[in-house]
């Protein structure tokens, strides 16, 4: 099973959230704070295409986020619980 770096936390296992003047650190829900994703597992992913009015949605193995504008990956439903 091949692993890839989690695009949400960039391999750190946590993310920084900022709201107004406050900042907090939370565990990454996509990779469950591991910093890596299984390349065989499917995830809900979306990004904004140039000139398209709506986001493109994809369900499949993790994509390389560098190739997509405003890339977002969501935790799997079974991993959220």
Distance of CA 16 to the CA centre of its chain: 14
Instruction: Examine the pLDDT at 81 and tell me if it is beyond 50.
Output: no
Q: With a threshold of 0.75, does the pTM exceed it?
A: yes
- Rounded to whole angstroms, how far apart are CA atoms 59 and 80? 16
Structurally, how many domains does the chain consist of? 1
| CB-based contacts of 6, cutoff 8 Å, min separation 6 | 13, 28, 30, 31, 34, 35, 36, 37
Mean pLDDT for 7-30 is 93
Tens digits of per-residue pLDDT, 32-80? 999 999 999 999 999 998 888 999 999 999 999 998 989 999 998 764 4
Domain that holds residue 74: 3-80
Of 61, 69, 67, 71, give the one whose Cα is nearest residue 37.
61
């Amino acid at each position: 099973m091949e692993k890839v770096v989690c695009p949400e936390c960039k391999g750190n296992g946590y993310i920084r959230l900022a709201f107004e003047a406050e900042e907090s650190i939370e565990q990454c829900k996509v990779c469950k704070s591991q910093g890596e994703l299984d390349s065989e597992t499917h995830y809900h992913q979306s990004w904004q295409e140039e000139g398209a009015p709506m986001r493109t949605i994809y369900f499949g193995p993790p994509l390389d986020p560098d190739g997509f504008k405003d890339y977002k990956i969501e935790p799997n439903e079974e991993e959220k619980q």
